[in-house]
Amino acid sequence: MKLVKQVSVFLKNQPGELARLFKEIDDGGIDVSAFEIAEAGDFGVIRLITPEPERLKQKLGASDYTVSEVRVISINSGDVSRASAILGRSDINIEYAYSACHIDGENRVIMKVDDPEAGLNAIKK
């Protein structure tokens, strides 16, 4: 388990926007290891995990996308129960989570917690 950077992109919630976003990503030759879509009315947030978060941010920012970056915890999918229990006992809130296939050769779960460093340290103990 480790901390990784997640890039979030804000999109209009309308047909063709996801295709346009991924065309930009593909045209930049950037691999996406995982993504998740959160709908919020007229807009959506696409959360992306990539081995090249800085390059992704630059590419999408240059194409007039609104992007942000946060650190999230990447854990083995088999550790969700244990990690969730530890985070709860440590009073660290899991804000959201999603699954990802084959990051570093393993099935992973991405967890956004309110304190990434403390969360990772608690799980690693």
Q: What's the mean pLDDT in 53-65?
A: 96
Residue 31 one-letter amino acid: D
Backbone φ and ψ for 107, nearest 5 degrees, come out as -75, 130
Res 66: pLDDT: 96
Query: What burial class does residue 78 get, using C-beta atoms within 10 Å of its C-beta: 0-12 exposed, 13-18 middle, 19+ buried?
Result: exposed
Residues 6+ apart with CB under 8 A from 70: 5, 6, 8, 112, 116
Return the pLDDT at 103: 67
pLDDT at residue 104 is higher than 90: no
Which domains does the chain carry? 2-68 (3.30.2130.10), 71-124 (3.30.70.260)
| Confidence band of 98 (pLDDT split at 50, 70, 90) | very high
What are the beta bridge partners of residue 44?
11, 39
User: Does position 17 have pLDDT exceeding 70, yes or no?
Assistant: yes
Per-residue pLDDT band at 107 (split at 50, 70, 90): confident
